[in-house]
Chains A and B, each alone.
Chain A
Amino acid sequence: MKDWILYCALFAVLFSATVQAETFHTDAQYCLVCHGSNAQGNEAISAPNLAILPDWYLSSQLQAFQSGWRGHQSTDAYSKEMMAVAQSMSPEDIKRAIGFIRGFQVSKTVEKVAGDVSQGKTLYQTCAACHGAAAEGNQTMGSPPLAGQYSWYLLRQLQAYRSGQRGSAEKDAAGALMKQIALSIKRDQDLTDLVAYITTLDIQKTNLQQTDIKK
């Protein structure tokens, strides 16, 4: 716990008028304004849980937002907000932000989702191939963990893949695959059932840290 506080302190440079307006805030607490004080997400801001996401996925999604794979075609204001923030971040900022997020305890908000959990479990068999039986994620496949994520966020992403707002960028191979899968889910009720099942899953104890960027 202490080493990341030290890490933050090292990088915490007080803001002054000499800092260029183009640069990301030097304090990574920036992320917590929207994503919650423990990076656990905040429904009121429509900001997802970051603490459950491994370094490699956070990094790839920040790059996706930077390059406009995510957010650019989107019609929802939330991904546009994230795109603007990501585009203001340098590679160093990204490393620092991920290192900061890693310091928080992984937590999950208990949700009650109206949906047929057993039907969702059946549907999830398709998802398990990439996201893992316990929805723990699989870096090799480029699949993030889903367990612990908010139902409203998962649902919005499934809809974004179905509508082509996500997964349409040329270089986004993992996204393109997910788009195909999402398109194969025809009924809205199936989406709800699927999400209802995923929210029953416990967070898996996996190594979220990819590199030793904290040191």
Chain B
Amino acid sequence: MNEAAGAKPTRSLGSILRSRPFLAFAVVALVWIVAGFTMRGFGAYGHLRYLIELSAVIGLVAAGQTFVVVTGGIDLSVGAIITVSAVGLPLFTWQADPTGLSAIVATLAMASAIGLVNGAGVAFLRVHPMIMTLAMATFLQGLLIIIAGGSAVSVQNELVQWLGNARPAGIPAGILLWLVISAATLWVMHATPFGARLFALGANPIAAQLSGVPVIATTIAVYAVCGFTSGLAGVLLLGMNGQGYVGIGDPYLLTSIAAVVLGGTSILGGSGTYAGTIPGAILLVTITALITVVNASPGWRSILFGALILALLLLSGREAARR
């Protein structure tokens, strides 16, 4: 990523043009322009706004996933956390609080606590992240049956409904929420000591520990953040859907990882940025929308989706050659 080629004045422009986030944004723009001219209705403001609204859910989950992946981990429990949040939120309803804010706060606290346990398992017990979060997902699956009993729950919470449906100033509240979280994520990652530690930890955990990075605290914090954003995505999804059911979060596990990788973040940790994940999420939703328009059978749709992701990965996910 540190192409230092070229003279000094052109270097900044060249490195911007070659950076992964820029490439991902360029691909999104290209697809939108081509589809906008060739497909009736694709380029309409309402449709594009709808695409970004859908991307917001993936974008929120992928924010936490980006944190985790940058430190060299992976979180396979995000789907389960989304489901637990969406199904569990209606349980935290108190008569004393008509706004519904307390229910959201309680849900997010629960989601963060789940992430915290993930992080504690990875940091203290030294269980591999893939196994820790996988076991957590299995555990939550059991918990879900207890709290939901397999039936769908509908949302009565006003604030959640507002989040899913309201459009202050014509922009859906979900997109505004995504903007806020994106700004916070980018700031934490690239402008705070905590963010610098994440990259150090992902690049070389031993070197990071030796240079004074609090490895255990950082790891726990990262998984807690991932739990928090997954919980937020669950709340937003519940608001947009109006209903929560077991399995509502399942599709977001693989797509969150795909969005992170499409954005140029190395799955091996140590490099990347949420600025790439944002267009990655939009790209995934756009691809899905285009494939739906093509009107193919579910089998072909799935094949097209996988093939397109694979092709896009060739643009962004290559490793260095061994020699």
Q: Do A and B bind each other?
A: no
Please give the residue numbers on chain B whose beta carbons come within 8 Å of chain A beta carbons, in ascending order: none
